[in-house]
Structure 1
Amino acid sequence: MELNVSTASQGGHTVVTATGELDLYTAPRLQTALAGVLHDDIERIVVDLSGVDFCDSTGMNVLLSAMRRATECGGSFALAAPRTAVRRILQVTGLDTVFTVVDAVPVLGAG
């Protein structure tokens, strides 16, 4: 299965949308997209996981690394709308207490 990744930015806020399966073979695509938006003037990154059907440990490590980098740059990092399977992985691994997980994807330009 493929992983499609797109980004949308406005000001210092970026939404990275992933769709498909996030695993050993597709994680580099997400890693590249996140590396492209992680910079010193980033305020907030939200990764939209609403279209991700599966995520393995490689995918989680990519997300953890991006969160660490965002925090080092003084920004915030959140996961949005993970499906049940991905949410379960977050809970089983305890990462639901490490990541900020929100139920809805923020709309850029709103509020």
Structure 2
Amino acid sequence: MGEKKVLGFVMFVMAYGFTVTTLSYSQAPATCNGDEKLLSLCGEYLVNNKPNPSSDCCNAASDAFKRAMAIPHGQGIRDICNCLRVEGPNLNFHQDRLVSLPDVCHIKLSFSMQLCVFGS
């Protein structure tokens, strides 16, 4: 009887981990409009399941940050930071990994990722 409970718990944890790390584009939160690729392709790295981000993750992050920095008056930066600050914890993203993502992917930013993720 105890083995069935343990097996059931292990299966639940595995299923939960799979759903957390495989966010599809259609499941992206409304606060992250346009950043779906960043969230889905970097998910496994940001939840600490992989030691390094994939090249697809870095490409998606580069695209998202470039797009954010191109929007006038800092609105794109505010939007992507709001997405990461609000939805990152909901998706179990490690904040330290969010902060280091641009450096790890060799992406130059015009803003502080530390302030972006943690706020003022």
Output the TM-score relative to the length of structure 1: 0.38
Higher RCO, 1 or 2 (CA under 8 Å, sep at least 6)? Answer: 1
**Whose strand proportion is higher, 1 or 2?**
1
Structure with the larger helix share: 2
Give the structure-2-normalised TM-score: 0.36
